[in-house]
């Protein structure tokens, strides 16, 4: 199954001129099947859009302001870090945010948000029914539209003196761009600067969840990993966005690691220099492993090797054996004990001595 996922990912990111380098199975079996599936997916998008357009499906309005953070492609766009950043900004401004996340694939991202926002006023709601989850939290904790009351009276970063402290003042939709059932006041679309649109095809033939014309619904576009691409690539992405919506504000973001921590102790803090001049094996199960590896390389290790698994991969005994075998190869080659570095979202490998990157 993992090999099939890798083949699909390779196809989704391959440009037309690269198709001839794919395997015979991918070119003559997998691509035709994926293309047919993409046609069905396009039809489902059309039908769903029209069901909302003609009122057969209704969008719900929550009693507080809603900020959606989403994207047009699968994984690796920096949605969850952006959600965390906005939640921290609101919490520090005296506004209690409710983060609504689907909890996909075991809820690894939801658990990470809970750890990071534990000391804040933010609340995390997990479930596919975002409206139902929101209703439960709003009923339990109460709500106040602080954007139109307190927030207008206080500068960002300054604690609110409202008497309604603790009540939910805003909702943040994690991965919310395709969640059409809730109305939103601000639509933020994240774009992966390293692989912005893949091959430009819809799922599953390509990485697009919607056609690029969906950018017209966005209020802000954020190009993530902007520091890892050239100025030429950056200009090309901006030009593509401008062609679709000329007035769309475009911002830039990057991941900036602060420290490592031991997988068995999330509270530990190891300096980034821990991997300097060391042999490092990067193990990831995220949407854009290239960004992770490039970030580690910038710190200055002696050598960086990598094992990439599909996004939200559930690790099994066979995967652990593969990692151990790669470690043995590196140790024999460099005569030193390698360090495993995993992304924070992948901290289930507790039977191997590893460190995890914290952004």
Edge-first strand order for the sheet with 186-192 is 123-126, 96-101, 168-174, 65-71, 186-192, 220-224, 250-253
Tens-place pLDDT, residues 213-247: 999 999 999 999 999 999 999 999 999 999 999 99
The span from the CA of 172 to the CA of 89, in Å, is 12
Whether 207 shows a pLDDT value over 90: the answer reads yes
For position 105, what pLDDT does the model report?
60
For 65-253, CATH number out of 3.30.420.40, 3.30.465.10, 3.40.50.720, 3.40.50.300 equals 3.40.50.300
Higher pLDDT, 324 or 156: 324
Q: Which of 19-28, 109-118, 134-143, 160-169 has the lowest mean pLDDT?
A: 160-169
For position 315, what pLDDT does the model report?
87
For residue 16, give both structure tokens: 């037309």
pLDDT classification of 152: cutoffs 50, 70, 90: very low
* pLDDT, the chain, mean: 89
Higher pLDDT, 251 or 347: 251
For position 351, what pLDDT does the model report?
46
For residue 92, give both structure tokens: 């520090």
In whole angstroms, how far apart are CA 356 and each of 250, 269, 295, 325?
Answer: 31, 10, 13, 20
For position 267, what pLDDT does the model report?
87
The span from the CA of 308 to the CA of 165, in Å, is 44
Higher pLDDT, 125 or 103: 125
The percentage of residues in the chain with a pLDDT greater than 90, rounded to a whole number, is 72
Tens-place pLDDT, residues 269-282: 999 999 999 999 99
Q: What is the torsional sign of CA 252, 258, 261, 267?
A: negative
The span from the CA of 257 to the CA of 357, in Å, is 7
Q: What is the mean pLDDT of residues 105-134?
A: 90
pLDDT classification of 151: cutoffs 50, 70, 90: very low
For position 160, what pLDDT does the model report?
46
pLDDT classification of 154: cutoffs 50, 70, 90: very low
For residue 127, give both structure tokens: 């479930």
Q: What is the mean pLDDT of residues 49-74?
A: 95
For position 108, what pLDDT does the model report?
81
DSSP codes, 108-128: HHHHHHHHHTTTSS-EEEESS
Whether 112 shows a pLDDT value over 60: the answer reads yes
End-to-end alpha carbon distance in the chain: 30
For position 3, what pLDDT does the model report?
82
Q: Where are the beta strands (DSSP E) in 27-80?
A: 65-71
Q: Where are the beta strands (DSSP E) in the chain?
A: 65-71, 96-101, 123-126, 168-174, 186-192, 220-224, 250-253, 259-262, 279-284, 303-308, 339-343, 354-358
Tens-place pLDDT, residues 299-317: 999 999 999 998 888 888 9
Q: What is the mean pLDDT of residues 38-59?
A: 96
Whether 130 shows a pLDDT value over 70: the answer reads yes
Domain residue limits, the chain: 2-53, 65-253, 259-358
Whether 159 shows a pLDDT value over 60: the answer reads no
The predicted model scores a pTM of 0.89
Whether 101 shows a pLDDT value over 60: the answer reads yes
């Amino acid at each position: 199954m993992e090999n099939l996922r890798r083949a699909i990912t390779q196809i989704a990111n391959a440009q037309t001129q690269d198709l001839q380098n794919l395997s015979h199975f991918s070119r003559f079996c997998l691509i035709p099947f994926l293309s047919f599936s993409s046609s069905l997916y396009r039809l489902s998008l059309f039908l769903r859009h029209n069901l909302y357009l003609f009122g057969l499906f209704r969008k719900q309005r929550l009693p507080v302001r809603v900020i959606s953070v989403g994207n047009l492609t699968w994984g690796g766009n920096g949605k969850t870090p952006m959600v965390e950043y906005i939640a921290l900004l609101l919490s520090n401004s005296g506004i209690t945010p409710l983060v609504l996340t689907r909890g996909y694939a075991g809820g690894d991202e939801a658990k990470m948000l809970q750890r990071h926002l534990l000391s804040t006023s933010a609340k995390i709601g997990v479930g596919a029914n975002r409206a139902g989850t929101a209703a439960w939290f709003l009923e339990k904790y109460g709500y106040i539209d602080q954007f139109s009351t307190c927030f207008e009276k206080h500068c960002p970063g300054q604690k609110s003196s409202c008497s309604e402290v603790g009540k939910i003042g805003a909702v943040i939709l994690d991965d919310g761009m395709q969640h059409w059932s809730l109305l939103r006041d601000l639509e933020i679309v994240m774009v992966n600067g390293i692989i912005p649109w893949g091959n430009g095809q819809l799922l599953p033939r390509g990485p697009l969840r919607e056609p690029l014309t969906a950018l017209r619904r966005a209020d802000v576009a954020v190009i993530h990993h902007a520091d890892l691409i050239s100025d030429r690539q950056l200009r090309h992405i901006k030009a593509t966005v401008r062609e679709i919506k000329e007035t769309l504000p475009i911002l830039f973001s990057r991941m900036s690691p602060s420290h490592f921590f031991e997988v068995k102790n999330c509270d530990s803090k190891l300096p980034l220099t821990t991997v300097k001049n060391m042999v490092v094996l990067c193990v990831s199960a995220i949407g854009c492993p290239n960004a992770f590896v490039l970030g580690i390389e910038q710190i200055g290790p002696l050598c960086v090797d990598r094992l990439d698994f599909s996004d939200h991969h559930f690790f099994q005994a066979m995967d652990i054996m593969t990692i151990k075998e790669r470690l043995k190869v590196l140790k024999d080659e460099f005569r030193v004990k390698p360090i495993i570095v995993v992304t924070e979202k992948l901290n289930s490998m507790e039977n191997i001595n590893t460190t995890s990157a914290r952004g």
